[in-house]
Amino acid sequence: MDGMGYQPFEIPRNGAFLRGAVWGHGPRTVLASHGITANHHTFKPVAERLGPDYRVIAIDHRGRGGSRDISGPWGVQHHAEDLMVALDHFGIARADVLVGHSMGAFVSAVTAAHHHERIGATLFVDGGLPIIERIPWYVPVSLFLRLLLGPSMNRLDMRFASREAYLDYWRQHPSLQTEWSADIERYVMNDLIGTAPDLRSGTVKAAVIGDTRSMLNSTLVQDSLRLLRLPVRLLRAPRGILNAKPIYSDAHIERWAPQIAQFSSAMVDNVNHYTILMSPRGADAIAREIRALLEVSR
């Protein structure tokens, strides 16, 4: 436990454990959902900026981080149920804000639509709106993910001789090579398992593929977005996963905004898909938005 009151937790789930951590101990609850190959440590910079008077609960989604031993089933609807299990574990009837990054924003959409009485407002961070209608039947999901995620997906099939070799792999990531920090290093190292010289990512590839199918090869997310009746705020990055073109264009936002009842969006300057969450300027922006949403969700 550190000055922020960082407290790991584990909850029995499907014959294994759903794990995560809590930062802070205040009366306002922020529930956090991470990206498709990430873990709960991505939210540390945001939690620190909110301070100890807020309570940030972040789980490792099944198949990732400390929850890697949960063997399924996969799909964003199951992550939504896991978020509710975490709230129940802490005796919390309603989270004031649900914040989701990347895949976590899709999870947030499904959670807020189907458990609306337990969520005050939602903050999507560079995610949540479908980027394509459907993966073509002739394109394997694994290939689609390699093209979309690049190094983040490729590492799932790799082995590393040492911890330093794994760090070197991440330091060369197009979105991180000029933004490296202690927070990013902590995040990537919490994904590493095994014993040298046979180290590997702990993210379960089948989970990544299964979750992608649930987001892009069904209407679950689209239908959930149209059901939302609580405040939805999207923060987007001007540069995407590989530090190039953004995930969401202005035209994409204009298409979806009329379909979501209480939707608004804003661009965070000079960040990419990763640094919108894990850089100081990105974490500052997210913390400001959470505080603003806390006011409207009272």
pLDDT in tens, 8-46: 999 999 999 999 999 999 999 999 999 999 999 999 999
Residue 296 has pLDDT above 90, yes or no: no
| Reported confidence tier of residue 174, pLDDT bands at 50, 70, 90 | very high
For 12, the token pair is 């029995």
Q: Where are the domains of the chain?
A: 7-135+203-296
Strand order of the β-sheet with 119-125 is: 7-13, 16-23, 54-59, 28-33, 95-101, 119-125, 232-236, 263-267
| Residue-wise pLDDT tens digits, 271-288 | 999 999 999 999 999 999
**Mean local confidence (pLDDT), 196-212:** 97
- If one compares 42 and 133, the residue with the highest pLDDT of the two is 42
Chain-centre distance for alpha carbon 11 = 19
CB 188 within 8 A of CB 170: yes
Closest to 224 measured CA to CA, from 125, 106, 117, 95: 106
pLDDT at residue number 298: 65
CATH superfamily label, 7-135+203-296: Alpha/Beta hydrolase fold, catalytic domain (3.40.50.1820)
The CA distances from residue 229 to 59, 113, 116, 164, 279, in Å, are 25, 8, 8, 47, 31
For 147, the token pair is 């093209």
Report the C-alpha gap between 168 and 176 in whole angstroms. Answer: 11
